[in-house]
Amino acid sequence: MKYLTFGKTGVKVSEMCLGTMMFGQRVNEDESIKIMHRAYDEGVNFFDTAAMYGGELGNTEEIVGKAIKSFRDKIFLASKVNKGIDAKSIIESIDESLKRLDTDYLDLYYIHWPRKGMRIDEVMEALDKVVKAGKTRFVGCSNYPAWVLEASNCYSRLNGLAEMVAHQLPYNLLERGVEVEVLPMAKVENIAVVVYRPIAMGLLAGKYIPGEPIPEDSRAKTDDRIARWLSDYGDGILKLRDFANERGVSILDVAIAWIRSSPAVTCPIIGVSSMSQLEKGIKAFEFSLTPEERQQVGSFFDTEVKEISGGNYGPLRRDLDLVAKTGLS
């Protein structure tokens, strides 16, 4: 397992972040704990959870808390604000999460989603309070437009408050909207980018093949996005399979390598519901793509954001090298 510096924090985290969303729901407590212990033994030190995971509020966090007891001080643990994003909710949420996780602090505390009418000053002041209280080492956001994250950190800089150091986002071969301004902004300001849904809920893991029956025990039975994407991008999935077969690797290996090869991405979150999936996920980090191969794989799916313009403005919003980091990060 390789380790990377997590944005501007100076902290070293494993290149793979283990997602725990299925723990307590599709995976029982005993197996969830075994999976987490195995991941830790394999070198994973970055774990992502949330109060709303696990079917019942706080169920997953309680399981994670039991699993990490023997190695809490050796890992990087992230969770998210529950309830709203007013000051009261931000402070109450972390206290409740810490109790369920049976720990004194988080390493990273995310605002899960922006809300219409949100007050940036209230959010950042509340996050600063939990940092200064020692309840979390760092704060971040999830699913923010680039301008909202920049405005949030600008407010913090002007007022001497803790800044957001990480951004958790959906990104994969099918969902590429974050390539417009979000990833370039993160790269130039050295914001750690943590990717969720890197394999599009299993669609880019070889679990679903066009023309073949959908497995009975799969998420596709409860989430209609999978069937829709399978229909829309079936040709690309077959091309991805052929590309993987030519190199003696799996579709999963290629899909994860495509995410990892982005200069703006820090870590993909690999969510698993079995020990077998964990083993395949860890193995996927052994395969890499060249820049040329990354471009080729991306071309299998007609998903790059398209902008009609009379000049070169559109591509500028996706250019990861337009501005140098110096002085900003």
With beta carbons less than 8 A apart as the criterion, state whether 296 and 254 touch: no
Please compute the mean of the pLDDT values over residues 138-151 and round it to a whole number: 96
Q: For 85, which DSSP code?
A: S
- Predicted TM-score (pTM) of the model is 0.93
Please compute the mean of the pLDDT values over residues 128-141 and round it to a whole number: 98
Q: Would you place residue 71 in the very low, low, confident or very high pLDDT band (cuts 50, 70, 90)?
A: very high
Taking only the tens place, the pLDDT of each residue in 191-213 is 999 999 999 988 999 888 887 77
Check whether 38 has a pLDDT greater than 90: yes
The residue with greater pLDDT, 166 or 313, is 166
Q: Which domains does the chain have, with CATH numbers?
A: 3-316 (3.20.20.100)
- 53, 105, 171, 208: the active-site residue: 53
Q: Give the separation between CA 195 and CA 42, rounded to whole angstroms.
A: 20
Sole residue written with tokens 């004194």: 104
Q: Is 171 a catalytic residue?
A: no
The pLDDT mean for the chain works out to: 93
Q: Would you place residue 329 in the very low, low, confident or very high pLDDT band (cuts 50, 70, 90)?
A: low
Helices (H), 215-317: 224-232, 234-246, 251-260, 275-284, 291-298, 313-316
Q: Would you place residue 327 in the very low, low, confident or very high pLDDT band (cuts 50, 70, 90)?
A: low
What is the structure's pLDDT at 207? 83
